[in-house]
Amino acid sequence: MMPAGSSEQPVAVRLTVNGRAHLLEVSAGETLLGMLRDRLGLTGSKEACVEGECGACTVLVDGGPAASCILAAGSMNGRTVHTVEGLAGAGELTSLQQAFVNHAAVQCGYCTPGVLIVLTALLAEVPQPTEDEVRRALAGNICRCTGYQQIVEAALDAATAVSS
């Protein structure tokens, strides 16, 4: 039997995910990514490196991009999380998502959720980013298919669409 207060004891976590409040009991080793995918059925964020290096699992935590594969689910109490599933409202694509479609910025799509999240955060902070700012924002997202050019063009196009 585990002693009281042991890190193995489940922890109750209240958080908001994509605008919906949740109360979950999480275990000590559970990650935010595991909680999102396994408990909430939000499978857009992908598991790849499990080291916070590739960006496939990136979500917004309190408005900032974070690698959900290395964040403890228990540390999310009182936090607000947005996943790729929460970007579009009422079935309409965001200007960034539409720009990805327009520029064919998706190939296999595995990295796309994390890329969209990072660029969403960038555009919220810097509505008219330069190409260099977009590329710097993408530095933590590995894409093995596209070469990034179409992704960068889509981000710049989305910035233009928002300012029009």
| Tens digit of each residue's pLDDT (9 = 90 or more) over 125-135 | 999 999 999 99
Residues 49 and 104 in one domain: no
Which residues sit opposite 58 in a β-bridge?
67
Q: How many domains, in total, are found in the chain?
A: 2
Residues in the chain: 164
Has residue 5 been placed in a domain? no
CATH number for the domain spanning 22: value is 3.10.20.30
Calculate helix-pair angle for 95-102, 149-163, nearest 10 degrees: 130
Has residue 2 been placed in a domain? no
Residues 32 and 67 in one domain: yes
Q: What pLDDT, on the 0 to 100 scale, is given for residue 7?
A: 55
Which range marks the domain in which residue 41 is found? Answer: 11-86
| Tens digit of each residue's pLDDT (9 = 90 or more) over 20-40 | 999 999 998 999 999 999 999
- Rounded to two decimals, the pTM is 0.91
Q: What are phi and psi of 21, to 5 degrees?
A: -80, 140
